[in-house]
Amino acid sequence: MNYRHRFHAGNFADVLKHAVLLRLLSGLQAKEKGILYLDTHAGRGGYDLAASAEGSSRPRAPEWPAGIGRLWGRTDLPPELADYVEAVRAFDADARARAGAAGGESAEGPRFYPGSPRLAAARLRAQDRALCCEAQPEESAALADELGRARRVSVQTMDGYTALRAMLPPPERRALVLIDPPFEAQDEWSRIVEGLAEGLRRLPGGTFAVWYPLTARARVDAFYRELLAIKQLPPCFTVELLIGGEAAGLRLWGCGLLVINPPWGSAAPLDALARWLAPVLAQAPGAAGGVHWLVQDK
């Protein structure tokens, strides 16, 4: 396992994933009853964007300027994106203060960018809790440090797919599960489908969100077919963002989130969010965004 999320932190894929995550969380929190937030592939929780450009052995172009960087100075953000950018600003300010980083807020973009566990932890209510799993010990230790002061949050150094078996169903009987793997392993897509089938057996009403890359449409179509073979697959949609068409020559030309058991009323705002982002985050002709139901809500 070589994947290091720090090189990608704040890129267009993080923008979509994290804005959708916050919207799903607020949708579930419309009900008073507590939820478990389970992050199966949690990462280190926070990223220093200045260090992310250094690379492992030689400098590399940072990805965040074409992601969060394009939203940073805008004053016309739709509500869901304004909420997300506000969450990033709050994390950046806090992390700067902790690091004793010189200078105040920058006009170009954040210096520090939050990972999914940090964004979710900041939104937990007294009745909610979070469980964050990370397989790489070094990343997991950094995550434990990052979340050290957060209440109702625990970090486990473990395989995220095992967590779907071990941690579900939770006593709360309500959960938002984020599955955000690195897609380095050949069998990642099939492990996701198996994990979802198991998770849904254990918690049929749970909300599951899976991030996936768009590098080949045929692979994603096969993923949809494998999902539809899950017995009694609950209502689910995908929210996708293409920063260019498949033929545009980009390696990663888009990404999506599959959302199973979406909170009531979340499809329309997420559709609007992805449509708004497409021209703003476009890197080539053919950019597009939107929600597509795989199993329509009745």
Ligand X SMILES: C[S@@+](CC[C@H](N)C(=O)[O-])C[C@H]1O[C@@H](n2cnc3c(N)ncnc32)[C@H](O)[C@@H]1O
Minimum separation from the CB atom of position 8 to ligand X (A) = 7
By the rule CB under 6 A, 69 interacts with ligand X = no
- Tell me whether residue 221 is one of the annotated catalytic residues: no
Q: Provide the token pair at 40.
A: 């199966």
Among 55, 65, 78, 182, binds ligand X (CB under 6 A): 182
Q: From CA 216, how far away is CA 252, in angstroms rounded?
A: 9
Per-residue mark of binding to ligand X, 71-100 (x: CB under 6 A): ------------------------------
Q: Specify the residue, 43 or 69, whose C-beta has the smaller distance to ligand X.
A: 43
Minimum separation from the CB atom of position 98 to ligand X (A) = 18
Give bridge partners of residue 293 from the DSSP assignment: 237
Q: Specify the residue, 4 or 129, whose C-beta has the smaller distance to ligand X.
A: 4
Q: Which residues contact 111 (CB under 8 A, 6 or more apart)?
A: 48, 49, 50, 92, 95, 96, 101
Q: Specify the residue, 28 or 119, whose C-beta has the smaller distance to ligand X.
A: 119
Among 43, 170, 213, 263, binds ligand X (CB under 6 A): 43
Minimum separation from the CB atom of position 232 to ligand X (A) = 26
Q: Which residues contact 186 (CB under 8 A, 6 or more apart)?
A: none
DSSP string, 211-278: EEEES-HHHHHHHHHHHHTSTT--SEEEEEEESS-GGG--SS-EEEEEEESPPTT-HHHHHHHHHHHH
For residues 220 and 240, the answer to whether their CB atoms sit within 8 Å is no
For residues 207, 157, 97 and 3, what is the CA-based torsion angle, rounded to 10 degrees?
-80
Q: Specify the residue, 103 or 181, whose C-beta has the smaller distance to ligand X.
A: 181
Q: Specify the residue, 55 or 235, whose C-beta has the smaller distance to ligand X.
A: 55
Q: From CA 125, how far away is CA 200, in angstroms rounded?
A: 25
Among 54, 83, 94, 159, binds ligand X (CB under 6 A): 159
Tell me 74's DSSP state: -
Among 48, 145, 180, 187, the active-site one is 180
> Can you give the binding site for ligand X, defined by CB under 6 A?
1, 3, 5, 17, 40-43, 115-116, 133-136, 139, 159-160, 180-182
Which residues are tagged catalytic? Answer: 180
